[in-house]
Amino acid sequence: MTRPHLRSKTVALSALALVAAPLAVASTPTSAAADGPRASTIAVAWQRIAIRTIFTETVPTPGPPVGALYLSFTSLAVHHAAKQGQRQGRVTASAAVATAAHDVLWEYFPASRAHLDADLATTLEGIPDGAKEDAGIAIGAAAADDMIASRVGDGRGNASIVYSQEPGPGVWQPPVGGGMALAWFGFLKPVIDVPTVTLDGPDPLGSAAYARDYNEVKRVGRDVADLADRSAEQTAIARFFAGTPVDNAVGFYRDALCRYLDAHPLGLLPTTRLFARIDAAVTTAFIQTWRLKYDVGFWRPFQAISGQYDDNNPATEPQPGWAPLIPNPAYSDYTSGHAAATAPFAEVLRQKLGDDTPLVLHMNGQERSYATLSALEHDALNARIWGGLHFRDAMDDGYYLGHTVADEVIAALR
């Protein structure tokens, strides 16, 4: 695949030989030059470019699972390029990282190509010309081509996959005149080969556990501004984490991490590995979550509490007209998609940097600071209950899924 930047550079035969070299050769320990501050800065800068390209410049804005998928394509190609280029030092690795990120985004987001070309030109202007830069460009282009080729026919946007389950107690139904959003996502080809996480499913409708969750969300999740059982702070947290199409959890977690890494640089390979693991884990959790949403199809609280169907549980009392604080998306309760965005992100970061990694989240002109990842997860989890979107079981199981996927991805992705 030929892209504009390759026409502006003469790629030396020695660079092409580097691309053809087996990956095992790249196991040489990372040199200080390859892991220098400049290379780390470039890696973070291209993560910001990816956020801008996917969530700001693309119209309509992709939903968080789709955005996470394209972030994973980018980060995995970038990390592969970094590993290939690092044995040649900072110059080669920096050019490889920028080129890999550019080429993946250039392929999937044609409306942003002019901006991406300008971004790459700016990056390469700061890298010394010569054989090492040319080698890095070739390595990055090859990594991008490999990623793009591997995703042909992966199931994206497969319109033949349509959710359909018979109405009844416990069964989620799409909005009138619509269908399940992103039904195809649960059938995607994985971005990394890890085992599927086994969960026990939603609590049975007649159980005490279901009644406890039902009554909790009924009490605290209703669309009433001055609800007695939900504090003003809890209301603010629920609305904050609801986000917007542009400012969503995937995007503002990443933005917060980029700003943290500006002040606490890790070096090139640790940076590219961190983003690759986060994105592979988040995307894997999203794929497994969407398959559960499709296969299980458990109803949302507003459908249960409305009393349209009797759940035959004497401990639950329907409330006709009950509505959630936060509008519900067009997919089912179990498990939580927000958990799939949050739990893998937090767990990968926790295992790399520790639970006491402080992050400042910015969303739609608002800001919330978290001294620990556990505190962030606490608010993000409860926000979906305070917002009336989920039963607690869908959140707890979603976090278990996300943490377990993170463990698997960390073990698999070096």
pLDDT tens digits for range 330-375: 999 999 999 999 999 999 999 999 999 999 999 888 999 999 999 9
DSSP 54: I
What is the average pLDDT score of the chain?
91
Q: How far apart are CA 149 and CA 6, in angstroms?
A: 18
Residue with tokens 């640089």: 265
* Lowest model confidence (mean pLDDT) among 65-69, 169-173, 191-195, 241-245: 241-245
DSSP 298: B
Are 199 and 291 spatial neighbours (Cβ–Cβ below 8 Å)? no
pLDDT of 36 reads 52
Residue with tokens 């893998």: 344
Are 380 and 272 spatial neighbours (Cβ–Cβ below 8 Å)? no
Q: Cα 218 from chain centroid?
A: 29
| Backbone φ, ψ for residue 270 (5° rounding) | -60, -35
Residue with tokens 């979906």: 384
pLDDT > 50? residue 285 = yes
Residue with tokens 């991406």: 116
Which two three-digit tokens encode residue 73? 């394509």
DSSP 310: -
List the one residue out of 191, 54, 206 whose CA is nearest residue 116. Answer: 54
Which part of the chain has CATH 1.10.606.20? 183-412
Which two three-digit tokens encode residue 404? 């377990």
Whole-Å CA distances, 149 to 1, 75, 105, 145: 10, 15, 14, 6
Q: How far apart are CA 12 and CA 16, in angstroms?
A: 7
* pTM score of the predicted model: 0.91
Residue with tokens 């979550």: 289
Q: Are strands 366-370 and 359-363 parallel, antiparallel or unpaired?
A: antiparallel
Please state which CATH number belongs to domain 183-412. 1.10.606.20
